[in-house]
Amino acid sequence: MILGRVTFGLLAVALFSGLALAPFWSAGRALESLETLNGATPWGFFLRGVHAFSAWGFLLGTLAHLGEVLWKRTESRLRPAVWWRSVALLPVAVLALLGGFLMRGDAEAQAALAVWREVSSSVPIAGRALAALLLGLPGADLAPVSLHHAGTFTLLAWLLTAEHGGTLLPDLRSTVLAALASFAAAGLFPVSLGPPVAPDGALLLGPWYLLGLQGALLDLPVAAGWLLPLALLLAVGLVRHADGRARAALLALAAAWGAGYLALTLRLLLAAR
Amino acid sequence: MSSRRDFLGTAWAAAGVAAAAAGTAVLGRALSGSPEPERGVRLPAELLARAEKEGGLVHEGLHVRGPAASPVVLDLTCTHLRCRVAPVEGGGFSCPCHASRYDAEGRVTAGPASRPLARPRLSPDGAGFVARLS
Amino acid sequence: MFRAQALLLALLLALAGLLGALGRERQRAAALGRAPDRAGGKVERCVTCHVRPEEDPGGAHARAAVGCSSCHLGNPFAFDKARAHAGMEPEPGALRSVARTCGRSGCHVREAARVATSLMARASGIVSVNRWAFGEVSEPRGTATMVDLLAKEERTPAEDHLAKLCAGCHLHALRASRDDAIHGNGSGCSACHVARRLPGAVPRPHPSVDAHVTDDRCLGCHSRSGRIALTYEGLYEIEPAQAAALGTAATTLHDGRPAGHAEADVHRRAGLSCVDCHLHTDLMGDGTRHEHSESQVEIACEACHGPARDGGETTWAEVRDPITRDLLRQQGETRPPGERVRLGRHGTPVWNLRPSEGGWSTLRKRQGVALATRPTPADANHRLPGHERLTCSACHSAWAPTCSTCHTRYDAEGAQWDFAKAAETPGRWVEASEGYDARPPALAVRPDGRIAPAIPGMVMDLDAAAGSGPRVSRRLYASLDPHSTGKKARDCASCHLSSWALGLGTGTLSFESGAASFSPASPATDDARLAVDGWTLLDAPSPGIGTRVGLRSLDAAELRRALAVSACLPCHAKATDLVWRDFAGSKARLARGGTRCGFRSAGSPRPSARAEGAGLVGLKDIR
């Protein structure tokens, strides 16, 4: 399972590059501090690129590794509890990445913050508390978001990955490979920031991995923001407990979900043009 | 032996659920009592006169227009997912997040929003008003 | 586990990445430290690159004070050009983005919002009158604006005519889509508040952005149609053939049109510029969507020269207008609360008019020079019976530009600049006239019943047949204030003995057998009794109509009354002449034979046979 190991390596790279970025970011002047990092800090743009690409790589690697596991039917090697916690790695990774997106503080991030506050609030009973916990109280700066980004979700991602892989730390070779890949991407493809204020009449886009959800929310009620991901997680999670037809049905459901998600992404991109 | 272990396990689990519920309740109380809910925006008479003459202006996330004596005030927060909507040329408002559109009265004309833009409660304040959003 | 090839590939890729990053890092570092990155106390990285002195507008909008992004938008935090310039407004002040530029919070919010409602932006008067003249609407009024019109895909002939000939002078037209009318100033706020930039001037520095609206900024647009800006300067547009005839007496305007010289407005000769009289509401609007300019313009002669209208004077303690207050602050001026102030027609204070010893004085805003302002004298000229309905400008307008006949033709084969499309599009409107003239204006009766100057506004043949449009003939006069004010009023004969002034057109007025008659110099093709440049007939059953609902020529009764004094004028040419103090009494006296009059012909008033031999009586005896 080389893919799984490299993914863990990418998480390590993301963690260390994130640590390196911490001194440059300010919760009250998020966008300005990032522009300064990008423009006025020696190799700042590169650090940020390494962080972004390693984190995106971690999410993509997790997804790809999941596909690999399902394809090779190796999910039964994990105890059910570990399997479910491994599936939970997916939303944890997305939440960690979303935190990073919100921390940009540009117009796109501000809009995403408002939207996710509503999506969280739409969870029955605990919704408002959840929103406040994860995103801070309305009107606060980005400090709570950054705490969860660098703390809660990173810690959870590390724990879940470690448990899943049966090793506390990634192996050296995977980490080096992950680092080299991140350097390559960061050097070749500079990572941009959004506009400071929304341009008139145009749609603002969320992070690329959530565009499908943004597209879904053009028509579906706000609860779709957590119900749709939950449906996917349940379908994937239950695979461990199903055999034969039931397993195939669950996999077909997950595949259909993925296809629909891509279609929604495409639709949003077309609407934004 | 095993039944006793089962019982203890269940008891621990039940106690855990109870503790989590209590913790959540306390947190919920703490969060709901936090000083956010109401926001008051002053609308001094001079601003209202300006808004009347100029056919409407944006002030502190509010859109103000109409006669200074009884202004029409709309909250520019999209009723869909609370992004900030922007006035568009020719009257009306549009949301950059999910393309909801509102007419000049704040009524939804397109997109996923279903409720009109909120109208803050206005209470007299000297020669102007205070707009309260809850 | 990993083969050496994988490591090698990763190393190579990483090396490529690092090389790319190194290049980018070099670029980034090289761009830094050239100049400060703050302006006006905030991060403004635009000034890091834009360091040349000619990129600084100076004044209140100096680069060091407001940076660049306050007006030009973009991203002031960004370090690279692409991101910094994303979302930039190359034409700040343009009404499309004015709420985020000049009208942004903390700057000119009120003014920017008002301008969009002003007639300079909406041009609803021009739109409605033109549509009416083309026969597309039933009345010369309406709230449709030039903005609405330019947004239309399908246009009527009148709308096409406007889009091709008129739309360049409305504030929504972007710099790129305009002709020479504004000389590259930009649209919206910039049309007036940016120093004019002459085409071809190299290098083209950042123009200054200021509140000193010099007359040349008005001239670009207001040298057309009523041409008040030219008239004010003492210039009148002529046809090239006329210029050739004038020779060295002719001059050339900034945009190449030839012009002749006439007497400049007395205010111009006193050094007053447009904005010394016109209030901020006249120009930027007062937030009300007026249909025609005369309802937006507040300033009137009486505001300065008196007597003030009822409610036209107050004290500064009562003045609320925040824009005027701001203007005063900007100018570093204060006004004691108890000081008297005169108001425009809608109540806007004329802040540069101040009480002085024995009257009022007007401040030339730019130069700070105070000029004594003469009050309207309460003499015989201003109390002449029968003239109560005359506006000041009816008598004090020395001349007006006159283009008596105009032929507008649609050439479907040609192409012409289209302000809606910002490109040349098929179809061309061609205007031709028999030449322009500068002469005392005719008189019209305004909708409010007052008598004011008028010029042939649209005495024209319109042939839009080739463009599927109408073929119409119009005989419309337009009322205007020509801006050719003279200290000396026009004399009695220039109205009472002038067929032109009375609206009959060019020709000969004669008085025979007790009645006036008129023979046109050049009869109209449709009616031989009517002059080609005339507006009405002596005995027209209804008066000629004008470019406003209710604007008309003098009617038959008014013409009779005006001509009734014609016979007396050769001898009684002065308003102080006692014969005018009670004209009816004078006539009765004459009829009774109590006075002597040399008038022999059978004109009107008809002298009696007895009057013929009567001895001359002291005029003071006629009471």
Q: What is the pLDDT of residues C255-284, one digit of tens each?
A: 888 999 999 999 999 999 999 999 999 999
DSSP structural state of residue A152: I
- Amino acid identity for residue C88 in this structure: M
Task: Give the DSSP per-residue string, A110-150.
Answer: HHHHHHHHHHHHTSTTTHHHHHHHHH-STT--SHHHHHIII
Q: What is the pLDDT of residues C217-259, one digit of tens each?
A: 898 889 988 899 999 999 999 988 899 998 888 999 888 889 9
The more confident residue out of A96 and C587 is A96
Cβ-Cβ pairs closer than 8 A, B with C, add up to 29
Q: A185 and A216 share a domain?
A: no
- Angle of helix A80-102 versus helix A153-165 axis, rounded to 10: 150
Residue A196 lies in a domain: no
Chain A residues in contact with B94 by the CB 8 A cut-off are: 201
Q: What number is the average pLDDT over the span A230-249?
A: 94
Q: What is the pLDDT of residues C151-160, one digit of tens each?
A: 888 888 899 9
- pLDDT for residue B2: 60
Residue A102 lies in a domain: yes
- Res. C606 pLDDT band, cuts 50 70 90: very low
- pLDDT for residue C570: 83
Final residue in a domain of this structure, among A133, A167, A190: A190
Q: B58 and B78 share a domain?
A: yes
C398 in Cβ contact with C438 (< 8 Å): no
The more confident residue out of C602 and A162 is A162
Q: A214 and A143 share a domain?
A: no
Q: A58 and A159 share a domain?
A: yes
Q: Is the peptide bond before C605 cis (omega within 30 degrees of 0)?
A: yes
Helix (H, G, I), strand (E, B) or coil at A254: helix
Compute the nearest-CA separation of A186 from chain C (Å): 7
- pLDDT for residue A250: 95
The more confident residue out of C420 and A87 is A87
C472 part of contact set with chain B, CB < 8 Å: no
Q: B17 and B50 share a domain?
A: no
Q: B27 and B69 share a domain?
A: no
Q: A15 and A148 share a domain?
A: yes
- Res. C33 pLDDT band, cuts 50 70 90: low
C200 part of contact set with chain B, CB < 8 Å: no
Token digits for C436?
A: 């322009």
- Res. C601 pLDDT band, cuts 50 70 90: very low
C420 exposure class (CB count in 10 Å sphere: 0-12, 13-18, 19+): buried
The more confident residue out of C373 and C203 is C373
- Angle of helix C124-133 versus helix C157-165 axis, rounded to 10: 130
**How large is the ipTM?**
0.84
Q: Which chains does chain A touch, 3 or more C-beta pairs < 8 A?
A: B, C
Q: B17 and B64 share a domain?
A: no
Q: What number is the average pLDDT over the span C472-501?
A: 91
Cβ-Cβ pairs closer than 8 A, A with B, add up to 69
Final residue in a domain of this structure, among A190, A219, A237: A190
Looking up residue B128, the CATH number of its domain turns out to be: 2.102.10.10
Q: A112 and A183 share a domain?
A: yes
Partner-chain contact A203 B32, CB within 8 Å: no
Pairing of strands C406-418, C451-463: parallel
- pLDDT for residue A213: 95
C443 exposure class (CB count in 10 Å sphere: 0-12, 13-18, 19+): buried
State how far the Cα of C418 lies from the Cα of A215, in Å rounded to an integer. Answer: 40
- pLDDT for residue C2: 59
State how far the Cα of C477 lies from the Cα of C472, in Å rounded to an integer. Answer: 16
- Res. C602 pLDDT band, cuts 50 70 90: very low
**Nearest residue, CB atoms, A192 vs list C29, C37, C83:** C83
Q: A103 and A174 share a domain?
A: yes
Q: How many domains does chain A have?
A: 2
* Domain around A20: 1-190
Q: A104 and A221 share a domain?
A: no
Partner-chain contact A107 B28, CB within 8 Å: no
Q: A25 and A126 share a domain?
A: yes
Q: A262 and A133 share a domain?
A: no
Q: What number is the average pLDDT over the span C481-488?
A: 94
Residue A25 lies in a domain: yes
- pLDDT for residue A86: 95
Comparing A161-175, C96-110, C338-352, C495-509, the range with the smallest average pLDDT is C96-110
Report the 3 state secondary structure along chain B: CHHHHHHHHHHHHHHHHHHHHHHHHHHHHHHHCCCCCCEEEEECHHHHHHHHHHCCEEECCEEEECCCCCCEEEECECCCCCCECEECCCCCEECCCCCCEECCCCCEEECCCCCCCCCCEEEEECCEEEEEEC
Q: B104 and B48 share a domain?
A: yes
Token digits for B44?
A: 């001094």
Which of A114, A203, A263, A111 minimizes the C-alpha distance to B99? A203
Q: In degrees, to the nearest 5, what angle opens at C-alpha C69 toward C-alphas C67 and C71?
A: 95
State how far the Cα of A253 lies from the Cα of A248, in Å rounded to an integer. Answer: 8
**Average per-residue pLDDT for chain A:** 92
Q: B27 and B50 share a domain?
A: no
Q: Residues in chain C whose beta carbon is closer than 8 A to a beta carbon of chain A?
A: 1-2, 6-7, 10-11, 13-14, 16-22, 24-25, 28-29, 32, 37, 43, 45, 75-80, 83, 86-87, 97, 100
Distance of CA C436 to the CA centre of its chain: 19
C117 in Cβ contact with C95 (< 8 Å): no
State how far the Cα of C361 lies from the Cα of C559, in Å rounded to an integer. Answer: 39
- pLDDT for residue C610: 29
- Res. C183 pLDDT band, cuts 50 70 90: low
Cα-based distances in Å from C428 to B106, C373, C407: 44, 48, 14
The more confident residue out of C313 and A29 is C313
Task: Give the DSSP per-residue string, C345-365.
Answer: TTS-B-TTEEEETTEEEEEET
Percent above pLDDT 70 for chain B = 90
State how far the Cα of A178 lies from the Cα of A58, in Å rounded to an integer. Answer: 9
State how far the Cα of A51 lies from the Cα of A41, in Å rounded to an integer. Answer: 15
Q: Which residue of B has its CA nearest to A140?
A: B36
Residue A166 lies in a domain: yes
Token digits for A89?
A: 């790695």
- pLDDT for residue C607: 37
Q: A74 and A175 share a domain?
A: yes
Chain B residues in contact with A219 by the CB 8 A cut-off are: 112
Q: What number is the average pLDDT over the span B76-82?
A: 91
Comparing A140-149, A164-173, C167-176, the range with the smallest average pLDDT is C167-176
- pLDDT for residue C178: 61
**Nearest residue, CB atoms, A196 vs list C17, C77, C79:** C77
Q: What number is the average pLDDT over the span A174-190?
A: 94
Residue A49 lies in a domain: yes
- pLDDT for residue C548: 94
The more confident residue out of A190 and B40 is A190
* Domain around B56: 39-133
Looking up residue A170, the CATH number of its domain turns out to be: 1.20.810.10
**Average per-residue pLDDT for chain C:** 85
Q: A78 and A178 share a domain?
A: yes
A182 in Cβ contact with A57 (< 8 Å): yes
Is a pLDDT exceeding 60 seen at residue C497?
yes
DSSP structural state of residue C93: T
B5 part of contact set with chain C, CB < 8 Å: no
Q: What number is the average pLDDT over the span C99-120?
A: 85
C143 part of contact set with chain B, CB < 8 Å: no
Q: What is the pLDDT of residues B100-118, one digit of tens each?
A: 999 989 999 998 999 999 9
Helices (H), A149-223: 153-165, 172-188, 211-216
Token digits for C313?
A: 């004077």
Partner-chain contact A39 C18, CB within 8 Å: no
Q: What is the pLDDT of residues C401-449, one digit of tens each?
A: 988 777 788 888 899 988 888 788 899 998 888 788 899 999 999 999 9
Partner-chain contact A40 C2, CB within 8 Å: no
Q: What is the pLDDT of residues C311-352, one digit of tens each?
A: 999 999 999 888 899 889 888 889 999 999 999 999 999 999
State how far the Cα of C220 lies from the Cα of C214, in Å rounded to an integer. Answer: 11
Q: A114 and A220 share a domain?
A: no
Q: How many domains does chain B have?
A: 2
For C214, phi then psi, to 5°, come to -80, 160
Q: B72 and B104 share a domain?
A: yes
